[in-house]
């Protein structure tokens, strides 16, 4: 039986809604909205949560977490005064191996990682603690390569879909990412948190309007402009990856569960369920890559293929 990507969610990447929900009404709202998403996921047939986290940065290709039960703790680099996040997670190591195979089959440099004490990133821990607190559904996480651009990230998303289909899993994909990503660079009173600027807020709301209409592919195409204008998180690679994993189209029912500031950044909780109809089915000027052929190091003096 072929697997299936059931749905996708964009979820925040900052730990404050988990660490300090009582310090700010918006942070508490995000925590509460996660409970609604959690109920929606639990009501689905999902047997895999597949995450792409902008808080797990990689350099050497793409890393896939394959420790079946990572257990450790993490202290946020900025928000250490709010406490530690202890975790014991349940990962789908078999799926991680299949994702690795499919990524390599599409030309990507990738590897699985399973090391005691490996620092699972804050975004992943926060998302899983809020959406899957009892580890009922096993998870898998892939890193965000700092050099990959749209084409490579699309290929990574398509490899995720390949792996889900081949594995027979019913997967919910989670893009762990901020929208606008400009933080306050000083310590603020949490009660006075707000989006860093009106301009960032307006861009966030425009993006959420499109996502609310289910126009994920439109948002994927708009991501570069959004990132440029609103200091988008990691070029909005999480949305590229999600759009590819979900099929590169606008055929979704979008639900904006919440949108709040977290230390100046835009934190949104958005659900995308496949739908028969589409608000817009447009003709795009950017093609979707199917295979990754490596970095094109045009400045290398010799032997440019050595690292491909």
Residues that bind another protein (CB under 8 A): 56-61, 73-75, 77-81, 83-84, 109, 113, 115-119, 121, 145, 147-148, 182-187, 231, 263, 294-295, 297, 299-301, 306-308
121 vs 218, beta carbon nearer another protein = 121
145 vs 167, beta carbon nearer another protein = 145
Ordered DSSP codes for 103-157: HHHTT--EEEE--TT----HHHHHHHHHH-TT--S-EEEEEEESS--HHHHHHHH
168 vs 190, beta carbon nearer another protein = 190
168 vs 304, beta carbon nearer another protein = 304
79 vs 274, beta carbon nearer another protein = 79
With H, G, I as helix, E, B as strand and everything else as coil, classify residue 180. strand
Do 26 and 96 meet the contact criterion of CB atoms below 8 Å apart? Answer: no
Minimal distance, residue 10 CB to another protein, in Å: 21
16 vs 246, beta carbon nearer another protein = 16
Strand order across the 265-274 sheet: 110-113, 62-65, 139-145, 48-58, 170-176, 4-11, 265-274, 252-262
Minimal distance, residue 191 CB to another protein, in Å: 16
Burial degree of 36 (CB within 10 A; 0-12, 13-18, 19+):
middle
Minimal distance, residue 149 CB to another protein, in Å: 11
Minimal distance, residue 183 CB to another protein, in Å: 5
Name the phi and psi angles at 262, rounded to 5.
Answer: -130, 105
Minimal distance, residue 88 CB to another protein, in Å: 15
H helix intervals, the chain: 16-19, 25-43, 93-105, 122-131, 150-167, 198-212, 216-230, 237-245
Query: Looking up tokens 């402009």, which residue turns up?
Result: 225
Minimal distance, residue 211 CB to another protein, in Å: 25
Q: How many helices (H) and strands (E) does the chain have?
A: 8, 10
30 vs 122, beta carbon nearer another protein = 122
> Checking DSSP bridges between strand 139-145 and strand 48-58, what pairing results, if any?
parallel
Minimal distance, residue 228 CB to another protein, in Å: 15
With H, G, I as helix, E, B as strand and everything else as coil, classify residue 235. helix
């Amino acid at each position: 039986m072929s697997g299936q990507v059931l749905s996708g969610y964009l979820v925040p990447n900052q730990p404050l809604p988990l660490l300090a929900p009582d310090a700010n009404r918006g942070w508490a709202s995000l925590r509460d909205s996660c409970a609604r998403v959690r109920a929606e996921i639990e009501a689905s047939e999902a047997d895999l949560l597949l995450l792409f986290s902008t808080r797990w940065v990689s350099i050497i290709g793409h890393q896939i977490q394959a420790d079946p039960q990572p257990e450790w703790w993490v202290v946020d680099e900025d928000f250490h005064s709010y406490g530690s996040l202890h975790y014991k997670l349940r990962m789908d190591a078999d799926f991680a191996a299949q994702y690795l195979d499919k990524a390599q089959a599409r030309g990507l440099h990738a590897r699985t990682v399973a090391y005691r004490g490996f620092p699972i990133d804050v975004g992943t821990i926060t998302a899983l603690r809020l959406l899957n607190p009892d580890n009922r559904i096993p998870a898998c996480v892939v890193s965000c390569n700092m050099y990959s651009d749209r084409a490579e990230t699309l290929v990574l998303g398509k490899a995720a879909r390949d792996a889900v289909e081949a594995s027979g899993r019913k997967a919910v994909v989670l893009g762990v990412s901020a929208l606008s990503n400009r933080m306050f660079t000083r310590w603020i009173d949490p009660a006075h948190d707000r989006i860093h600027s009106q301009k960032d807020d307006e861009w966030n709301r425009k993006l959420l309007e499109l996502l609310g209409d289910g126009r994920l592919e439109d948002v994927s195409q708009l991501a570069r402009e959004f990132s440029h204008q609103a200091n988008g998180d990691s070029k909005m690679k999480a949305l590229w990856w999600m759009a590819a994993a979900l099929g590169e189209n606008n055929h979704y029912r979008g639900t904006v569960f919440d949108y709040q500031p977290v230390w100046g950044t835009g934190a949104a909780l958005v659900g995308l369920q496949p739908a028969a109809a589409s608000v817009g089915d447009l003709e795009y000027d950017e093609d979707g890559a199917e295979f990754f052929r490596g970095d094109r190091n045009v400045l290398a003096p010799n032997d440019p293929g050595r690292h491909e």
